[in-house]
Amino acid sequence: MDKSFRETFDLDTYSAIRDAGKPWLRSAKTGLIAVSGNEAVQFLNGLITNDIAKLEEGGVMLAAFPNAKGRLIAVVRVSREGDKFIFATEESTYKSVLSNLERFTLAGDFKVEDQTEDRSVVSVLGESAVQLVSEVLGEFELEEGRSAKIEFGGAEVYVSNASRPAGVDVWVPSSGRETIIADFVSAGAADPDALLTEVLRIESGIPKYGIDMNEETVVPEIGLEELISYQKGCYIGQEVIARIHFRGKVAKELKGVVFDAPEAILQTGDELISQDDRNAGVVTSKAYSPKLKKHIAMAYVRNAFIENGTELRVEQQTCRVVDLPFIE
């Protein structure tokens, strides 16, 4: 572990989360876009990888916006609230999703509403997240793949299961964001700083746009099968994505690598090399995991080397391929 990492890392909070099971908050700004209209399902199913026609009231699903070459524009989390489909995406992909959707507003009964400034998403993560959120918001029932509506403080609050790591996404009016974060902290949640949040993200195997995926990433390479329906009708980029699926393999896939030496030195963009000196992939995100006592990295690993336990190296530092997440 390098000196700067030791000096800035909040190990006490990390230990409370990883060793004592304390729930923790993730509250990065999220782009939120509502889509409605009689032709919303038809238009949306031509744009995203999952089958939005199957999304019932209160339902939640993951999906991706691909371009015509099957490459990634954004990963989104879609929920259905009445006659509206709410798209949540990273701040870095929000403008791309919004512009992609707005292109179709003149083509039919298809309405797009930017809710980014009006609503916020605060995630409470960890095994005891539901219990903590219930203590703050009141009791609620939350089924897998569905959201629940709660009246709290005179406002409508929606909760749904977080996809990775396990926990609860809480959708609140932006005016109440800081208050509800303070309430969660008072109830016992940790609010990690940016460095610790990044370590927890990498341990949890959550890809980040611009780092672990970008406009050159073909959607199946992310390794999130729940993003894609292979039974729905045509959509932009479907031919490429379906061909990869039915061929049975991707050229490369986002995997984890764990380094053997606890003092390994690596950088984003480092090349992975096989035992027979072939290019085996590239490192995207890296961190030191105190729980594992190892340096870990998310990396795109070429298909020939994606089996768990495959030994690779960065320069002379050996590592082994593992599934994501590193820590559930």
- pLDDT tens digit sequence for 143-189: 888 999 999 988 999 999 987 788 999 999 999 999 999 999 999 99
HEC string of 38-90 equals: CCHHHHHHCCCCCCHHHCCCCEEEEEEEECCCCEEEEEEEEEEECCEEEEEEE
Q: At what angle do helices 11-18 and 194-203 cross, to 10 degrees?
A: 40
Average confidence score pLDDT of the chain: 94
Cα separation, 217 vs 6, whole angstroms: 33
Residue 282, amino acid:
V
Which residue do the tokens 């512009």 mark?
99
pLDDT for the residue numbered 6: 42
The distance between the two most distant Cα atoms of the chain, rounded to a whole number of Å, is: 64
The domain 1-20+194-217+251-328 is classified under which CATH number: 2.40.30.110, 2.30.30.40, 3.30.2270.10, 1.10.1040.10?
A: 2.40.30.110
Q: How far does Cα 294 stand from its chain's mean position?
A: 23
Does residue 33 contact residue 83 with C-beta atoms inside 8 Å? no
Cite the residue boundaries of each domain of the chain with CATH code 2.40.30.110. 1-20+194-217+251-328
Give CATH 3.30.1360.120 domain extents, the chain.
23-189
- Read off the pTM: 0.94
pLDDT for 254 = 98
Specify the pLDDT at position 2: 42
pLDDT given at position 8: 62
Q: Name the fold adopted by 23-189.
A: Gyrase A; domain 2 (3.30.1360)
**pLDDT over 90 percentage in the chain:** 86
* Model pLDDT for residues 242-268, shown as the tens digit of each residue: 999 998 889 999 999 999 998 888 999
